Copies of this chain bind each other. A is one copy, B any other.
Amino acid sequence: MDLNFTPQEETFREEVQHFLAERLPPRTADKVRTNKRLTRDDLVEWHAILNERGWLAGHWPVEHGGPGWSVAERYIFDYETARAHAPRIIAFGVNMLGPVLIKYGSEAQQKYYLPRILDGSDWWCQGYSEPGAGSDLASLRMSAVRDGDHYVLNGQKTWTTLGHYANRIFCLVRTDPAAAKKQQGISFILVDMNSPGIEIRPIITLDGEHEVNEVFFTDVRVPVENRVGEENHGWTYAKYLLTYERTNIAGIGGSVAALDWLRRIANQQMQDGRPLARDPYFAARMARVEIDLENMKTTNLRVLAAASHGGAPEAESSMLKIRGTEIRQELTSLTRRALGPYAQPFVPEALDADYNGEPIGPDYAAPVAAEYFNNRKLSIFGGSNEIQRSIIAKTMLGL
């Protein structure tokens, strides 16, 4: 039993830190730190910098362009980049589609698509959820009817995160509506967003931002070779995708950075003639979440260690998802509380990094309330925390 990283791992950590100091654009890091809006260009730039270093696809096999990291190295990389306020790597190509293609894609698909993910030629988005199929994903209804060498797609996808930045979408579609079980008869298909018949419409979220979209498909023709794997076996690939990438599901590094940010704010806000951070009640709220996060770091490492020994931690990664998002939500909630009356004023333009108006109240105030509301999504999207609790219970109870 040893909680320390190995000397090699510590050397790697320094290497990552050094790289971040050198290459992470300070303007981007500052936006992340202060919760300002990131542009598509910010994300593309960071993507390219990582790719140049060969560190973009940490969990891809070396032969497909991965760096050959251990689980611990991936953890260190995720942790350090988040702490340094790097943007998250946009997951759809690198973390979601990539592994599916590597495991189930044809050689042609691998050769064509994987390099385009790495070099940024393709920005992928995810076509899973539908208006009637949220938690009950397998009840999806978008149809793909075979017509010669093509599928003809009709239906609607929703909650398509950053779909308005994407040129491609991977979709779950129903190829056999008569299948006995709803999990059968689903296929996994790659679609060019520029195909005729695709219409994308923004969904504005409660904080007034445009992050997610609806995507409508009307007689969209997709070549059959864009199907991944076998027809009607898409559910297998979809599940693989959902459970594959769990190194960073708890978002530890991001929460550590958010806690630092909160602490800074709580040290500046005054209450009762002393910094809010010294107020016993607020200090207790912060200490509770700090301790929970310290515990979570070790829980996360324990799960990773088990996984590297070949464990298959489905219930455990659901735990990481639940508590990881709860901690992050609690941190944004405390940051909102810390602001006091200044949570209420809202100047949307102040979320742009090049806004140069005088701030209302303290300069860190502008994005806080909106960020709190936006982060309510963490327990809803990516498999709601209710779904995760059911997975844990069913795994442990075996009922």
Each complex incorporates copies of this chain amounting to 2
Q: What bracket does the count of chain A residues touching chain B fall in?
A: under 10
Residues in B with CB closer than 8 Å to A280 are 280-281
Least Cβ distance of A1 to chain B in Å?
A: 31
* Cβ of A53 to closest chain B Cβ, rounded Å: 48
A17 nearest CB across to chain B (Å):
38
Check if A284 is an interface residue, CB within 8 A of chain B.
yes
Please, which residue of chain B has its CB at the minimum distance from the CB of A279? B280
Which residues of B are found within 8 Å of A284, using beta-carbon distances? 281
A281: chain B residues within 8 A (beta carbon): 280, 284
Q: Interface digits, A175-205 against B, CB 8 Å rule (1 contact, 0 not)?
A: 0000000000000000000000000000000
Alpha-carbon distance between A284 and B279 when the two chains are bound, in angstroms: 13
A280 to B280, CA, bound (A): 7
How far apart are the CA atoms of A281 and B283 in the complex, in Å?
A: 11
Instruction: Give A267-282 interface residues, CB cut-off 8 Å to B.
Output: 280-281
A328 to chain B, nearest CB (A): 25
What is the minimal beta-carbon distance from A397 to any residue of chain B, in angstroms? 17
Minimum C-beta distance from A234 to chain B (A): 33
- State which residues 242-301 of A face B: CB under 8 Å: 280-281, 284
Residue of B nearest to A280 (CB): B280
Chain A 78-106 near chain B by CB (<8 Å), digits 1 or 0: 00000000000000000000000000000
Alpha-carbon separation in the docked complex, A317 to B374 (Å): 37
Bound: A281/B279 CA distance, A = 11
| Bound: A36/B284 CA distance, A | 36
Q: How far is the CA of A46 from the CA of B86 in the complex (A)?
A: 73
A125 to chain B, nearest CB (A): 36
A280–B282 CA distance with the chains assembled, in angstroms: 11
Minimum C-beta distance from A337 to chain B (A): 15
Q: How far apart are the CA atoms of A281 and B287 in the complex, in Å?
A: 13
- Ordered by A's residue number, 3 sampled pairs between the chains whose C-beta atoms are within 8 Å are A280-B280, A280-B281, A281-B284
Query: Nearest 3 CB-CB pairs, A to B?
Result: A280-B280, A281-B284, A280-B281
